[in-house]
Amino acid sequence: MSKDGNRGMTDLQVRKMTYAALYLAIALVLPFVTGQIPEIGAMLCPMHIPALLCGFMCGWPWGIAVGFIAPLLRSVLFGMPAMFPGAVAMAFELAVYGGVAGFCYQRLPKGKAMTYAVLLIAMICGRIVWGAVRVILAGLSGSTFTWAIFLAGAFTNAIPGIILQIILIPILVMAMDQAGLSLNK
């Protein structure tokens, strides 16, 4: 029950769900925008940004949900990324991004340096999980997933996206915090 005795959702719960829906919508649409830059569009990792922001702003449960759902739903709706192994592996990766970002940001002191630290922790954890899931999926499909493929997929090919996330996410998180838009308390 909420404070006023109402069994319905609290204002904070409704706001978190609304923000999460917005981040999910952005995750579905943003790849269309970055896709207009053929040379580096996919390398910008456009679905990663809303998953991270959702974790930072709404908390770890919503970050996990949006991160997990976004690539699977986008695959079903638009055929990209391909469901197997791409969207499946990305679902786990982005769930970890949103979950770790939200969990750490809620529990650690706020500040510019800590925002960067949380972002880097989330990015590293997500990429490790992506690699582990790709190894499992490769084993299930009878294909191979080598260390070179992991490094290329997780880091080398994603350098533009990593740079964009390191620049953009902390700026947005701090701006939304200052505007009182963070619900991750």
pLDDT of residue 8: 76
Q: Is the pLDDT of residue 83 over 90?
A: yes
Q: Is the pLDDT of residue 130 over 60?
A: yes
d(CA 106, CA 151): 30
Q: Is the pLDDT of residue 82 over 90?
A: yes
Q: Which residue has the tokens 């999980």?
A: 129
The pair of structure tokens assigned to 154 is: 């997780």
| Inter-residue long-range contacts of 40-46, CB under 8 Å, 24+ positions, other chains counted | 40/160, 43/157, 43/158, 43/159, 43/160, 43/161, 44/160, 44/161, 44/164, 45/158, 45/161, 45/162, 45/164, 45/165, 46/161
List the single range of 4-18, 43-57, 66-80 with lowest mean pLDDT. 4-18
pTM (global) more than 0.95: no
**Domains along the chain with CATH numbers:** 11-178 (1.10.1760.20)
Q: Is the pLDDT of residue 73 over 80?
A: yes
